[in-house]
Amino acid sequence: MNVHELTAYDLREKVLNGEASAEGAAWDALDRIEARDGEVRAYLTVDREGALRQGMEIDRRVRQGERPGALAGVPVAVKDVLCTKGLRTTCASKILHNFIPPYDATCVARIRAAGGVIVGKTNCDEFAMGSSTENSGFFPTRNPHDLERVPGGSSGGSAAAVAAGEAFAALGTDTGGSIRQPASFCGVVGLKPTYGRVSRYGLVAYACSLDQAGPMTKDVRDAALLLSVIAGRDAQDSTSADVPAEDYVGVLARGVEGLRVGIPREYFAEGLDPEVKAAVMAAAGVLERAGATLHDVSLPVAGHPEYAISAYYIIAMAEASANLARFDGVKYGHRAEGAGDLLEMYCKTRSEGFGEEVKRRIMLGTYALSAGYYDAYYLKAQKVRTLIRRDFEQAAEACDLILSPVAPTPAFRVGEKRSDPLQMYLSDIYTVAINLAGIPGISVPCGRSASGLPIGAQILGRPFEEALVLRAAYVVEQGIGGDAHAR
């Protein structure tokens, strides 16, 4: 039995039934990391001893007749912007290269409590700022399907780890598409929950009103399983919603009979790769054959990049400029040597510790918030955000779900867009509006390009209707077939 070919759900069942061991699954993941990660480079930190220790403890509990939890023995990778107690958390930045948190993020703590085995911390764009994982302060991650291409970003390390079989599931974070876009590029499933569905406690903030942690998995059932573990109210996070989680795995088989699926015309206009369009429309055909009805809808503000992209980057950069002010060399992380006074120490620390993209976003965000420009940029962006939310509210009156592309193209080549930030930002054209509106969205594999690169379809739902989104994604997954999936 090739353990790494199992899904997280199937591995959990085998561990609980005594057909597989948690320690063996940890060894399998660690062996895969050793064999493949030299070229993929999905991980920043591998917790070899900790993973084996966790695995042995799960096996001990199973032998004693206990049921350790919904993720018993499943090796899980964690994006390196989520705090892990006693395990280095860098945010892929040199300014935090030696930071070891004294506590777990809530979603990490819930995975541990459910019997999940944390194998390591995955690479990402520095402080989650990027669309390709080329902006890491340490090294870029490669796409396991084609090492000359990016895995997407900013959760590229988590997507690559799952696609390469180096983890059975992973946590990512999504500020403007950073779970869904790399999931599409790497041929895995990536779910961005409704804002507030998953606690942000212990998530190092990029943009507080946009960030949301979520699962990245081999298939839809695994995404439902992981969401069921991490979702729910958390008293330590004031933005955590008091909305009960559902049995996300149990509802998958209900199908989509009678559901209305909107196809937003603005998302299928000029600029969309024909192969991507064909794959997404194939997913639409699967839903229609399963009993859903397709409807043409319009997202007049959310669907236009001059509105959605502009509003998103102004808001995200403004929040980043405020959130990253805490990294000054005083309390934790890197501190520059040889500074003559406090101000010089601040400047040298931040100059040495932050990368080019982070500096760019801090400066642009500070500019947007500055006196004389606040109303012209930040306030106007927030008004556009309101219009975008209304777009989705109006669409929700006519449709139960929305189907769209995740990205304009399959994975692009390493270095192809790094010298042109505007082109890189346009990689998020179909994803950023979802974060501005705070609604749930999932990327599910729906085909491949002629060159064999994965393509994902994006399914969007009303706030806190993740169960409906997962049901539709499950139908697409079953209808498209195994060729679309990374194993």
- Residue 443: exposure state from Cβ atoms within 10 A (0-12, 13-18, ≥19): buried
Give the whole-angstrom CA distance, residue 315 versus residue 380: 10
**Does the annotation count 218 as an active-site position?**
no
Mention every residue, 6+ apart, whose C-beta is less than 8 A from residue 484: 187, 445, 446, 447, 448, 454, 455, 477
On whether the CB atoms of residues 262 and 403 are closer than 8 A, the answer is yes
How many C-beta atoms surround the C-beta of residue 422 within 10 A? 9
Give the sheet arrangement for strand 43-46, strand by strand: 43-46, 117-122, 75-79, 169-174, 212-217, 189-192, 441-448, 454-460, 401-405, 260-264, 293-297
* Catalytic one of 131, 158, 178, 184: 178
Cα atoms found within 13 Å of the Cα of residue 256, Cβ hemisphere only: 33
* Catalytic one of 14, 79, 121, 192: 79
> How long is the chain?
487
Does the bond joining 154 to the residue before it have cis omega, within 30 degrees of 0? yes
* Catalytic one of 154, 155, 228, 427: 154
Mention every residue, 6+ apart, whose C-beta is less than 8 A from residue 111: 71, 76, 118, 171, 226, 229, 230
**Does the annotation count 178 as an active-site position?**
yes
**Does the annotation count 443 as an active-site position?**
no
And the tokens for 458? Answer: 């994006």
| Catalytically active residues, by annotation | 79, 154, 178
